[in-house]
Structure 1
Amino acid sequence: MNTKQMLMVSTVAITLSMGGTTWNDAVQASSIENTQTTTPIKEDLLQVLGVSSEEDIYKAQYEGQSLAEMARANHVDVQKVIALQLAELTELLNERLYSGSISPEQYQAQCAELPEIIIKSVYAM
């Protein structure tokens, strides 16, 4: 995995693990009601990318391939990869919001950043 890819993956992991502690500024957001509509994510990354194991993903990324390149190589719409990751990370943020580990303001700020972070990660930008 090249330095840029490692940095992007690390950034996503750190962002999610920090619990939004860096977003302490007030955010203008509407109140959030507990309308959690959890639906199981029907596909995982292996299925969407069309690969057989996590090791395949690791090897491809180690050789410099992005998730987008893996998807295209397997005739998969890159948007499916983005949508899956967005759904998974949004679900994680929902769980953190409803457990009280992040505030509604932190939730809104992190949700707003997710699409850009995921796109950069998928395309290894």
Structure 2
Amino acid sequence: MNRKQMLLISTMALTLSLGGTTWIDPLRANPIANKQNTVPIKEDLLHVLGLSSEEDIYIAQYNGLSLADIAEANKVDVQKVIELQLAELTEQLNLRLSSGSITPEQYEAQRAELPEIIIKSVYAM
């Protein structure tokens, strides 16, 4: 498996493992029924990276660039990307904890792993 495929698979796996449970709840899955004014991760990430579409990220990653490479190419501090992803994934964990889909012990274990997972994802390690 080449680097591009590994990067895409690991990004999808991270997204599904941490965000997949939100689709179980129909209220969260339906954007019309959801009264919260939350912005999807991809829109925030697009804004931080200065990109116009999700496709731009996909193409860049397909061509072997990491999120860190994309940030550096657009003169963006990579730490902003890391902090954004950490905040978004922590929010998802908080929702999972408050909904009872994970235990406090699972929450703490997953929360402790987030920084390392995000850094590996951003730098495509």
User: What is the TM-score normalised by the length of structure 1?
Assistant: 0.76
1:3 corresponds to: 5
Distance 1:109 1:72 in 2: 31
Residues 60-101 of structure 1: CA deviation (Å, up to 9, x unaligned)? 011111000000000000000000000000000000000101
Superposed displacement of residue 14, structure 1: 4.2
1:55 corresponds to: 55
Residues 26-46 of structure 1: CA deviation (Å, up to 9, x unaligned)? xxxxxxxxxxxxxx67x7000
Moved more, 59-68 or 3-12: 3-12
User: What is the TM-score normalised by the length of structure 2?
Assistant: 0.76
Helix, strand or coil: the match of 1:2? Answer: helix
Q: Percent identity?
A: 65
Higher helix share: 2
Stretches of structure 1 lacking an aligned partner (at least 5 in a row): 20-39
Structure 1 residue 13 and structure 2 residue 15: aligned?
A: yes
Distance 2:19 2:55 in 1: 24
2:111 corresponds to: 111
**Residue correspondence of structure 1 range 1-125 to structure 2 within 5 A:** 2-16=4-18, 44-125=44-125
Corresponding letter in the other structure for 1:66: S
Counterpart contact for 1:8–1:120, Cα < 8 Å: no
Distance 1:110 1:69 in 2: 26
Q: What's the Cα RMSD here?
A: 2.0
Indicate how the Cα distance of structure 1 residues 52 and 18 shifts in structure 2: closer, same or farther if over 3 A, else same. closer
Number of aligned residues: 104
